[in-house]
Amino acid sequence: MKNLSEALEARATPEGLEWLREAQAAVAADPTALRTKFPMVGRKVGRGTLEEGADPADVHAWTVDDAARVLLLQAAGAGAEAELADLYRFGDAAERRGVLRALPFLDIGDRGLGLVDDAIRTNDTRLIAAALGPYATEHLSDAQYDQAIIKCVFVGVPITPLDGLPERVTPDASRMLAAFVLERVTAGRDLPAEVWTVIDKYPPAEEIAAIEATLNSPYEDRRAAAERALSYRSQQV
């Protein structure tokens, strides 16, 4: 992601940018102004994708209002932290996403982890994707990050674009995801090919052998699912 201000200049209208500058000045003078300005961002600045040509359906893609909300929170300085919890709690999905996107840009240490945890526990794919940015990479424990990867696969958030992958993959993550693949294969169901980028960081022999053994299942749907899963693996090599 290039500089947010530059990206926003290229995508927002002059009227939207002027409103944002005025809103930034207002929250710099009084951070409680965020309570009224933050919900207005989408309507005033826009809601399209921040990067030209980005797919609006891509849950990882930043939006114009994401960037504007980050800049608005930055303008509030140290006073932003006191407002984050309520902005997230009472905000709609786009406002919550803006809070999550802003966490790496704010000097709050690990005090935003409660918001990250809440987002990951939802089934909102855009919130989960927004939560798992550089802030989560820096502050989540290995066990928390592993669980977040599994949650992404479970709800359909693409994991390849996640910040921190593959560097933060642990042997436990590889094993748990391989076990999840086995569970899906034995149910005759598919998973995305990208799971192998995590599994094969630390290939778990027992789980992979069990997936391969499913090729000999008496059930056609299981055999077919195993064949597809293993063909996806070969594509990642």
Q: Are residue 120 and residue 237 in the same domain, yes or no?
A: no
Mean pLDDT of 209-232: 96
Q: Are 173 and 145 in contact (CB under 8 A)?
A: yes
The pTM (predicted TM-score) of the whole model is 0.93
Asked whether residue 236 carries a pLDDT value surpassing 80, the answer given is no
In sequence order, which residues have a C-beta less than 8 Å from that of residue 141 and are 6 or more positions away? none
Tell whether the torsion through CA atoms of 146, 147, 149 and 153 is positive or negative: positive
Tens of pLDDT, residue by residue over 78-92, are 999 999 999 999 999
Cα 69–Cα 71–Cα 77 angle in degrees, nearest 5: 110
Asked whether residue 1 carries a pLDDT value surpassing 60, the answer given is no
Q: Are residue 26 and residue 76 in the same domain, yes or no?
A: yes
Q: How far apart are CA 60 and CA 28, in angstroms?
A: 29
Within-domain flag for 149: no
Residue 224's pLDDT band, with cuts at 50, 70 and 90, is very high
- b/e 170-196 (16+ beta carbons within 10 angstroms → b): beebbbbbbbbbbebbbebeebebbbb
Within-domain flag for 158: no
Residue with tokens 């994991």: 159
Q: Are residue 136 and residue 19 in the same domain, yes or no?
A: yes
- Mean pLDDT score of the chain: 96
**What is the number of structural domains in the chain?**
2
Q: Are residue 26 and residue 104 in the same domain, yes or no?
A: yes
Q: Are residue 59 and residue 127 in the same domain, yes or no?
A: yes
Q: Which domain holds residue 125?
A: 1-144
**In the chain, alpha helices (H):** 4-11, 14-29, 34-37, 41-45, 64-75, 81-90, 93-102, 113-121, 125-131, 134-139, 142-155, 171-186, 195-199, 205-213, 220-236
Q: Are residue 135 and residue 183 in the same domain, yes or no?
A: no
Q: Are residue 130 and residue 180 in the same domain, yes or no?
A: no
Within-domain flag for 23: yes
Q: Are residue 136 and residue 181 in the same domain, yes or no?
A: no
Q: Are residue 182 and residue 107 in the same domain, yes or no?
A: no
Within-domain flag for 156: no
Within-domain flag for 151: no
| 104 class by beta-carbon count within 10 Å (0-12 exposed, 13-18 middle, 19+ buried) | middle
Q: Are residue 128 and residue 72 in the same domain, yes or no?
A: yes
Tens of pLDDT, residue by residue over 11-54, are 999 999 999 999 999 999 999 999 999 999 999 999 999 999 99
Within-domain flag for 38: yes
Q: Are residue 111 and residue 224 in the same domain, yes or no?
A: no
Q: Are residue 190 and residue 103 in the same domain, yes or no?
A: no
Asked whether residue 2 carries a pLDDT value surpassing 90, the answer given is no
Cis, bond preceding 166 (omega within 30 deg of 0): yes
